[in-house]
Amino acid sequence: MIVISTDIRKSISEAVEAIEHDKLFLLTDETTERLCRPLIADIPCMKDAQSIVIGATDTHKNLDTLAAVWTALGNGGGSRHSLMVNLGGGMVTDLGGFAASTFKRGIPYINIPTTLLSMVDASVGGKTGINFNGLKNEIGVFRTPETVIIDTEFLRTLDHENVCSGYAEMLKHGLISSRSTLHSSLSTLLAFNLDDVDYRMLGEMVGESVAVKEQIVTEDPLEHGIRKALNLGHTVGHAFESWALTRKPVLHGYAVAWGLICELYLSVIKTGFPTDTMRQVVRFVKENYGTLPITCDDYPELYELMTHDKKNADGIINFTLLGGIGDIRINQTATQEEIYETLDFFREG
């Protein structure tokens, strides 16, 4: 259940009290422990919660952190009847969801996303997991949280880069949705000022963006078909993100935004996506996200990283492309030459 909350105290109280449990655990990272936990600390049902704090940023989304969370649950007397609340961004909700899904073969959990990225992407859809062996989200399971509580007041705690990171997923939702509403149309998304955020408008846009993902996930919960639409920008984006992990890590949404440039270019040359629309998106991304300093010498490594994408079959790299806004073409392929051409466009286009 997804709750778009205007009263975080009431929403959390109702969600926790609706799940019978013997012990309550609260997972945060060092950033959300400092900035976000104080906003919910005095809610009566949270006062007895045992705190588990992990390192911030995606570099801690790994097996060592996962083991530390399992250990804290065990040492804290956690049982199969315990409940975990994940308060944080996508790293916290992904790793926390995976920890809860596997501890004692699975305990219930609640997600309270605190970043724009986690509100519109990571906390919705039941994907959990960690990075492993240098690859993004390589290990994980599908397991839906009991409740996702979204309160856009948390967005005021974000810095500019994290607003931009989440907004990339909203841009993706605007591209894949044929249901254009007041705030979710691509033209409105491209006109939004990320340097001077209108939080009231952003809150309305979040609700519409979440609805796009929720509808797709409901139709295809295990990603056998149309849910692959949500991977637009991610085949190249995840390769960019994994490439950057060993150099200077980048936020997920930045990698996705750069991946959108590449995969919209592929859509133009392979599935007839309008060139002028592609150019508008490219301009918006370059103005707000800059670029990634790859060179042609990096192409083989990036191509190799794309071969590990979970959507692939029989060693063939699979893309989600578009024929137009809302015209989704899943299971598209591209040759190595076409992918290298796409990377050329990313660097020079």
Mean pLDDT, residues 127-135: 89
Over the stretch 308-346, which tens digit does the pLDDT of each residue have?
Answer: 877 777 678 999 999 999 999 999 999 999 999 999 999
Over the stretch 61-79, which tens digit does the pLDDT of each residue have?
Answer: 999 999 999 999 999 999 9
Residue 184 has pLDDT above 70, yes or no: no
Over the stretch 226-265, which tens digit does the pLDDT of each residue have?
Answer: 888 999 999 999 999 999 988 899 999 999 999 999 999 9
Residue 181 has pLDDT above 60, yes or no: no
Q: How far apart are alpha carbons 191 and 183 in whole angstroms?
A: 10
Q: What domains does the chain contain, in order, with CATH numbers? A: 2-157 (3.40.50.1970), 163-348 (1.20.1090.10)
Mean pLDDT, residues 174-184: 71
What is the pLDDT of the chain when averaged over all its residues?
91
| Percent of the chain residues past pLDDT 70, beyond the cut | 97
CB 246 within 8 A of CB 236: no
Determine the distance from the C-alpha atom of residue 266 to the mean position of all C-alpha atoms in its chain, rounded to a whole number: 22
Three-state SS at 27 = strand
User: Is residue 219 very low, low, confident or very high in pLDDT (cuts 50, 70, 90)?
Assistant: confident
As annotated, the active-site residues are 105, 127, 169, 213, 223, 227, 231, 234, 238, 252
Over the stretch 11-48, which tens digit does the pLDDT of each residue have?
Answer: 999 999 999 999 999 999 999 999 989 988 889 999 88
Top-ranked range on mean pLDDT: pick from 38-52, 171-185, 267-281? 267-281
Determine the distance from the C-alpha atom of residue 117 to the mean position of all C-alpha atoms in its chain, rounded to a whole number: 5
> Which pairing describes strands 318-324 and 327-333: parallel, antiparallel, or unpaired?
antiparallel
Residue 168 has pLDDT above 60, yes or no: yes
> pTM for the whole thing?
0.83
Mean pLDDT, residues 115-122: 87
CB 9 within 8 A of CB 43: yes
CB 260 within 8 A of CB 285: yes
DSSP conformation class of 148: E
Q: How far apart are alpha carbons 206 and 156 in whole angstroms?
A: 14
Q: Does the CA dihedral 73-75-76-81 come out positive or negative?
A: positive
For 198, 206, 232, 267, the CA distances from 117, given in Å and listed in that order, are 17, 10, 15, 25
Helices 234-245 and 299-306 meet at what angle, rounded to 10?
120
Query: Nearest CA to 66 among 130, 23, 132, 137?
Result: 130
